[in-house]
Structure 1
């Protein structure tokens, strides 16, 4: 191998005498070349010049791998972006899971009952929201009317059966007009503020009946009136008063003849009915026709008809207990009393 001249700034490692100790006289550092990469120059080739030898790269730029390593700042930024994207994906997944769980809870919730419960004389709605508490005037404030109790000239109680002919109706704020003596005083003391009544001719024309409702303060006062009335009738200290229709229509007997009477309580109302024969003959307690008339008026018409419709047409409340019935006889202005019936 040929080597550069003695005056050259370059020297080849491994040839000639060792370089003098101390700093190199050259201004550029001698590149460190691996022995395996040394090039054997032919003898005819001119010696290399300074321009032919590329400068050695800085030591901090030398890589040990085939691909360059990304700077630390770029690697950190990429990881931050991955974290953000991953967090957003987790949030979206959690939101979707929450919506799915809510939908499942709604689907599995209690289903409303679809089978309707039949309520007579009631609108097609929840019975608990439609019932009116009849136990007091505080919860049943609407006053009674004659049209509510007796809306027409004929009262049909049972389908397919003859009706009752309505002779006269009457409504009053004084309960004493429908009773006499101690019975009238009792009703007033217990807070009765209204009576609605009518006189009707029974099918067949052999009986007259005066029937109606007394409007008392509450259920307790109505029950007290019911229990006390029997004693007053037995002791002849008063009576229910029959109501006469028009003059000459043959209804005068309802106010004078011995009568069979019945009464019962529902809520704060006292229902009553007074039945006489049109010929004025004393009635018998075992007369089945009179029993049927009392049942038609008290139970079928006033309780199951008028008061049931009133209860169904109100607001939230509970249905009252079934009516409790009493009965007896009372004397007219002439004739003797009969023994009280059952």
Structure 2
């Protein structure tokens, strides 16, 4: 905005004795000083706003990274190809970590309850008859066993996992289990060590250098029909879903 000062000729042109309003003009430089103070305050406000916005962005990035890290830790192990799983648990040399009872039968599994678990270096405690000799011959080093309950059947269940030197040994033991159970010359025992009678459902699987098995009897040790629907469900829940899909696949991962 411009400020003008009347010229002398303008003053002379005013009528004599006329009323003249006094006009006060700002002192030289006063308007400029006010403008400069305003300009100084405006950049400072913008600077503070920019710094605050940058801080919020950094905080958002940190929070996002934290969420991603936690989500990655909770993510289940990536699914491996079947051949890669077999390679990673093929022998004790490539899979040297010993089995732990809380790894094989942890508390809090929803499919079944664990009433008691046991870890033994003497695998013959898990077998009877000629199967004891078979486990010794093929170098079984660990037997992890547990007494289990399921919500859909009143059975006495013993499940276990055996640690053999390699895949070949585990498959040989699996073949011997089939033969010995069919002939009645050997079998797996329940957790108390008691031998099971003929016709008792004995379920087993092999994968890598491991043998997984399950022994099923009635609540007092009586015989359970091998074709009972609950037996099939037990094989799926304990052997296939838990011991194989959860324990062994995670171990390979």
TM-score (norm 2): 0.63
Query: How far did 1:205 drift?
Result: 5.2
Q: Does the aligned pair in 2 maintain the 1:275–1:294 contact within 8 Å?
A: no
**Unaligned residue ranges in structure 1 (runs of 5+):** 1-119, 158-163, 245-251, 313-342
1:121 paired residue among 38, 58, 76:
76
Secondary structure at 1:275's aligned position in 2?
strand
Secondary structure at 2:88's aligned position in 1?
coil
Q: Which position in structure 2 is the counterpart of 1:292?
A: 233
Q: CA RMSD in A?
A: 2.6
Q: Does the aligned pair in 2 maintain the 1:243–1:255 contact within 8 Å?
A: no
1:309 paired residue among 224, 246, 250:
250
Instruction: Give the total of aligned pairs.
Output: 176
1:211 paired residue among 159, 164, 167:
159
Whole-Å Cα distance in 1 between the matches of residues 159 and 124 of structure 2?
15
Secondary structure at 1:206's aligned position in 2?
strand
Q: Which position in structure 2 is the counterpart of 1:173?
A: 121
Whole-Å Cα distance in 2 between the matches of residues 121 and 241 of structure 1?
34
Q: Rg: which structure is higher?
A: 1
Aligned positions of 1:77-88 closer than 5 A: none
Q: Which position in structure 1 is the counterpart of 2:6?
A: none
**Unaligned residue ranges in structure 2 (runs of 5+):** 1-74
Whole-Å Cα distance in 2 between the matches of residues 137 and 200 of structure 1?
27
Query: How far did 1:155 drift?
Result: 2.2
Q: Does the aligned pair in 1 maintain the 2:218–2:224 contact within 8 Å?
A: yes
TM-score (norm 1): 0.48
Q: Does the aligned pair in 2 maintain the 1:259–1:274 contact within 8 Å?
A: yes
1:155 paired residue among 109, 120, 128:
109
Q: Which position in structure 1 is the counterpart of 2:94?
A: 139
Which contiguous aligned blocks of 4+ residues in structure 1 show a shift greater than 6 angstroms?
none
Whole-Å Cα distance in 2 between the matches of residues 121 and 205 of structure 1?
30
